[in-house]
Amino acid sequence: MGRLATGTRLGLVEFVRQPTTLAMLLVLPPVVVETYGVALESFPQLPSLGADPATAGRVTGTLFAVAFLSGLVGLFQVISARSADERMTVAGFPRATLLATRLVTMVAVTLAGGAVAFGVFARRVDVAAPALAFGVLVLAGLVYGLLGVVVGTLVPRELEGSVVLVFLADVDNALSSGLFPVDAAVPVPGAGDVAVTDLLPLYHPHELFSAAALEGELATGHLGPVAAWVLALLGIAFLAYGHSTGGGLPAPVRRWSP
Amino acid sequence: MTRVAAAFRSGATELRRTPLLLGLLVVAPAYVIYLFTAVAPDGPAVVHVSGESVRTTLPAAFPAFTTPMTAALLSGIAGLFLVGTATRADARLVVAGYRPGEVVLARLGLLVGVAAVATAVSVGVMLTAFDPERIALFVLGTGLTALVYGAVGVVAGLVLDRIAGVYLVLFGSMVDLFVFQNPLATDTHALARWLPGHYPLRVAMDAGFAGTVDPLDVALSLAVLGVLGAVATAAFYREVRLS
């Protein structure tokens, strides 16, 4: 427990001491939420947006702001700390504890970013079930944070990792938000034809958030897929991270040679 | 000039020796444009270009407006990392006798190269699903969009840290190119014309759907690129000299 707390504190202090990152946490989510709302006011022709495009835009913007922030924090937590984590492993930190510290840090940032974004959202939209909506927002952040951790573990350089995450988020946000009518389906073994949007990480959180914020309901049908995403990504993250920091083998003793 | 070429070559070699990055330069645009094309429902669409409404289909409209966005995203990220994070190495070149201007020129040349590759790959994939009315002008519009966002990436990389920079490039290109400038929208928001992607994307969309491009839009695109390029160059020059 002491190691977990120490590692988490380290990650958070590292984050807080970067002024632009901290400023981004406070400034960018509100800007994203508001800009999406303003931008979608120009979209009256798309039937998928419903009666109030601005509200639909703010729902999408809030989810995107929090999810992508968490994804980036997850990505850079793993990539920038790779060599430090390897040294911590040599010093006796269990790999699982190290990854747990990264995840707890990511969750803490998600909570902070989520609170800021949700605050802005709630000022502009009459939220039907605030606690439920905020919980779903954090869940969306968790999905993307874990996705960032997995990408950062598998693609261990900042440029390539960022490209992968950015392109995933770009497509995911555009298609899962419902801004455009998408009815394509793909065959999934054991499940028949499944809509493409159902397979996107942000689709189910988007549906949960819309239902909670606008109707005050828990869309229980979407909870299972979100839980599946979280568990699957968590499992992959632990496996990949363990492998990338030494595969569970004791660290080699390096000898100095002139 | 030889030294600029040498610095450019070393940057290009660094890129070439990163097979994953090279793969992503090709796979990422292909993935986005193919996916948008594949999921587009069959149905009519009306795009609003050159002050007129043009009837087309959703499977044609989707790849058309995602192509400049994809090229812009790649260039923006490249600008952010290739230039923004290379200042320390570039500063050593200055210590070794390079003039700051030569280093800056080489790096910006590399960025132009990445923007050209991103544009070529994106348009190449798009051509499997959408045939623009004026391909050369469409490529020009897409290339200008990519360069504009490359410059935005350079500035973001020098002013912000990496997380904030990546966030800004993705959010900026999504909101600017995908939402504000979307030709499917019936009204262009007043804010849209003040965003960096407005004029270059207009060139691309007009060339793609109407077949005519207002020369003023090309001139204004070049002006936007000139301003952003000057800011990026000045910021990078200052960084290299100070590092």
pLDDT tens string A182-212: 777 778 777 778 888 888 999 999 999 999 9
Going by pLDDT thresholds of 50, 70 and 90, the confidence category of residue A258 is very low
A162 contact B CB<8A: yes
Which residue out of A22, A35, A48, A179 would a mutagenesis test of the B interface target, given it has the greatest number of B Cβ atoms within 10 Å? A35
For helices A203-210 and A158-176, what crossing angle results, to 10°?
50
Q: Is the pLDDT of residue A103 over 80?
A: yes
- Asked whether the CA dihedral B20, B26, B31, B32 is positive or negative, the reply is positive
Domain ranges of chain A: 2-247
The SS3 assignment for A181 reads coil
B53 contact A CB<8A: no
Please report the pLDDT score of residue A90 as a whole number.
79
Please report the pLDDT score of residue A251 as a whole number.
46
Q: Which residues of A touch B35 (CB under 8 A)?
A: 171, 175
Q: Is the pLDDT of residue A253 over 50?
A: no
The residue in chain B having the minimum alpha-carbon distance to the alpha carbon of residue A75 is B163
Q: What is the ipTM of this complex?
A: 0.78
B22 contact A CB<8A: no
Please report the pLDDT score of residue A245 as a whole number.
64
> What CA–CA distance (Å, rounded) separates A239 from A243?
6
CA angle A202, A165, A25 (to 5 degrees): 80
CA-nearest of B225, B227, B22 to B118 is B22
Taking the CA atoms of chain A, what radius of gyration do you get in angstroms? 20
Percent pLDDT > 70 in chain A is 89
Going by pLDDT thresholds of 50, 70 and 90, the confidence category of residue A49 is low
The mean predicted confidence, pLDDT, of chain A is: 82
Pick the more confident residue, B38 or A145: A145
Q: Is the pLDDT of residue A40 over 50?
A: yes
Percent pLDDT > 90 in chain A is 31
Within 201-230 of B, beta carbons closer than 8 Å to A belong to none
- Asked whether the CA dihedral A11, A14, A18, A19 is positive or negative, the reply is positive
Q: Is the pLDDT of residue A47 over 90?
A: no
Residue B131 CB partners (closer than 8 Å, separation 6+): none
The residue in chain A having the minimum alpha-carbon distance to the alpha carbon of residue B175 is A36
Please report the pLDDT score of residue A146 as a whole number.
93
Q: Which residues of B touch A165 (CB under 8 A)?
A: 166
For chain B, what percentages of helix, strand and coil (3-state, to nearest 5) are there? 80, 5, 15
Pick the more confident residue, A74 or A181: A74
Distance from CA of B126 to the nearest CA of A (A): 16
A5 contact B CB<8A: no
Amino acid occupying residue A84: A
- pTM value? 0.83
B192 contact A CB<8A: yes
pLDDT < 50: residue spans in chain B: none
CB nearest to A42's CB, from B58, B169, B187: B187
Pick the more confident residue, A39 or A114: A114
Please report the pLDDT score of residue A241 as a whole number.
78
B203 within 8 A of B137, measured Cβ to Cβ: yes
Please report the pLDDT score of residue B199 as a whole number.
95
Structure tokens belonging to residue A116: 């800021």
